[in-house]
Amino acid sequence: MKLPTLHGYIDRRMLVNFTADPAVVRRLLPAPFQPQLYQGKAIVGICLIRLRQVKPKGLPNWLGITSENGAHRIAVEWEEAGQLQQGVYIPRRDTSLRLNALAGGRLFPGKHHLATFQVREAAGNYHLSFTSSDNTTIRVEAQEAKTYPSNSIFPSLTAASAFFEQGAVGYSPSAHGYDGLRLHAYQWRVRPLDVQHVESSFFEDVTRFPASSIHFDNALLMTNIEHEWHSLRAKPHVANACCG
């Protein structure tokens, strides 16, 4: 069933990004997806997003719902109809919204784990953590920064922004293989974040990411962005998988 277009606001979206060994990441991806490389590295990350007043487009805002959500993302590419496509594969989603966890992703495609979130935001300082129903955990301590880090694999904030903006299409595993969703942000505005501490039991699991195969790179912040979510009916075809 194709979902209606959803409309709402991104109160806060934090992208915490890592570089990773492409060979390690490739093992985590189903066909036809391949890691999208930047300077020879795979790019993976955590998205921590608070959505506000989300509801089918055209309904009044007061009918919308608010939720905290976490996603582990992998930048990917694949070939479709002779064209190279780019987006993200999301092997794991977590949410504070019990309805979506129980409904098996009918509000947003893909399986969602119910999680308890702790959020503190004040004067440009952020503490976000959660523990999910299967004890997956995340913790991020960060503060807004004036400059982009000079040791990032991306040479500038502009370069990082452009890379992550092209990841608007996301696919998540589901009972039907995987489901797709496209984010349409009315504006794309990111600011740099200085991360003092980051933990992710998903990325720290050595059965997924052996020691030294993944390294923190940068973090970006978006706030107060009006947006839409569009369900994708078509799925990439395994027969057209790219091999790069």
* Closest by CA position to 128, among listed 195, 192, 78: 195
- Residue 100's pLDDT is 64
- Residue 207's pLDDT is 96
Residues in a beta bridge with 237: none
> In the chain, what are the domains?
6-240 (2.40.400.10)
Whether this prediction's pTM lies above 0.95 is answered by: no
Residues 128-133, mean pLDDT to the nearest whole number: 96
Q: Which residue has the tokens 């070939």?
A: 79
Higher-pLDDT residue of 40 and 103 is 40
> Could you tell me the pLDDT band of residue 179, with boundaries at 50, 70 and 90?
confident
Instruction: Quote the CA–CA distance of 202 and 115 in Å, as a whole number.
Output: 14
- Residue 195's pLDDT is 98
pLDDT > 70 fraction of the chain, expressed in percent and rounded: 89
Q: Which residue has the tokens 């492409």?
A: 22
- Residue 48's pLDDT is 98
User: What are the C-alpha distances in Å from 166 to residues 57, 65, 76, 108, 112?
Assistant: 23, 27, 10, 20, 24
pLDDT tens digits for 61-91?
998 889 999 999 999 999 988 899 999 999 9
Instruction: Quote the CA–CA distance of 97 and 104 in Å, as a whole number.
Output: 11
pLDDT tens digits for 212-229?
999 999 999 999 999 999
